[in-house]
A and B are shown apart, each in its own frame.
Chain A
Amino acid sequence: MWRYAIPVGLLAVLGVFLARGLTLNPGYVPSPLIGKPAPEFNLPALKDPDARVGSEVFEGQLSLLNVWATWCVGCRQEHGFLVELAGSSGIPIYGLNWKDDRGTALQWLERLGDPYVASAVDADGDVAIDWGVYGAPETFLIDRDGTVLYKHIAPLTAEIWQERFVPIVTEKCGSFPCLQDGIQ
């Protein structure tokens, strides 16, 4: 009996590792930014190149930062949901327009609707590197004090929003939709 225990035990260990490997998504790399202060930035605004959008916009309210670009297929996919979210969640969405063409980006917002309070133009991708962005679309949830609470990679959908974001928002906000001062 005893002589079978070792191979069977080894097989079981191997099975656990393989099962774990099969269920992991290698495309998902957890962000080391969670729980850390949001990286600072100060970039030109998409709609008005003379104006600036900086990381201080996150102060005082729960907000979302969505990394998007017109060359990004997933961004097109989630756009409708973002527009819906902007109107219903009570959470302001800021955009980080990543390595995009300004004219095309403006057209896109005009045609599909603009869910963003403001979009910052990251033309050379430096701010995206600071935020650990590796594949748009990415969506960050940021706390009132500027702490990164959560990051979602891939298009945002109603299911993912409900499952991953709403619990955190409800905990931080006390309610959902989030009723925040000064935000409709």
Chain B
Amino acid sequence: MTQRLLALLALTFFAAVGGAQTDEGLSDPALNARYQALIREVRCLVCQNQTIADSNADLASDLRREIREMIESGATDNEISDFLVARYGDFVLYRPPMQPNTWALWGGPAAMVIIGLVVFARVMRTRSRQPLDEDEFHEDQGAI
């Protein structure tokens, strides 16, 4: 049983690391590093929870080809992401830009943590001021 579970686990692991593109890449190592980083930042709109690096969709391979060609012709990373955003919108980027309509997205988690801490501090403060009631007192005594 354990062995079977382990085998299953191993399978899911391999499924997770296997990417789509194996045949492609740029011969220049520096350019290839940029290419590999870029395609991991671009969403495949056909299968929206994959990057174009992970996706086997036809469109993803077209976009990878487009990006390779742009890199080879000397485009900067910014030019490439501008190119993609102009055609597909901000959603194509896995790292959305900081702009008025994404403030909630970027600031949300921090705001939640701050709200949580404030609530926590208030609760702790009121609790520490209240005297222990009888039952709790005896329970504590018992534990010691």
Interface residues of A (CB under 8 A from B): 6, 10, 26-27, 29-33, 39, 99, 124-126, 128-135
Is chain A's binding surface mostly helix, strand, loop or mixed?
Answer: loop
Q: Pick the contact of B85 from A30, A32, A135 — CB < 8 Å? A: A32
Interface residues of B (CB under 8 A from A): 45-46, 48, 58-59, 62-63, 66, 85-89, 91, 115, 119
What residues on A are CB-neighbors of B62 within 8 Å? 99, 124-126, 128-129
What residues on A are CB-neighbors of B91 within 8 Å? 29
- When C-beta atoms are compared, the residue in chain B nearest to A131 turns out to be B87
Q: Is the Cβ of A29 less than 8 Å from the Cβ of B88? A: yes
A124 to B119, CA, bound (A): 57
What residues on B are CB-neighbors of A99 within 8 Å? 58, 62
Q: Is the Cβ of B89 less than 8 Å from the Cβ of A125? A: no
Closest 4 CB pairs of A and B: A134-B45, A132-B87, A125-B62, A32-B89
What residues on A are CB-neighbors of B88 within 8 Å? 29, 32, 132, 134
What residues on A are CB-neighbors of B58 within 8 Å? 99, 125
A26 to B91, CA, bound (A): 10
Q: Is the Cβ of A130 less than 8 Å from the Cβ of B89? A: no
Please name 9 further chain A to chain B contacts, defined as beta carbons within 8 Å, in addition to the given A33-B87, A134-B45, A135-B46, sorted by A numbering: A10-B115, A26-B48, A29-B91, A32-B89, A128-B59, A129-B66, A130-B87, A132-B87, A133-B59
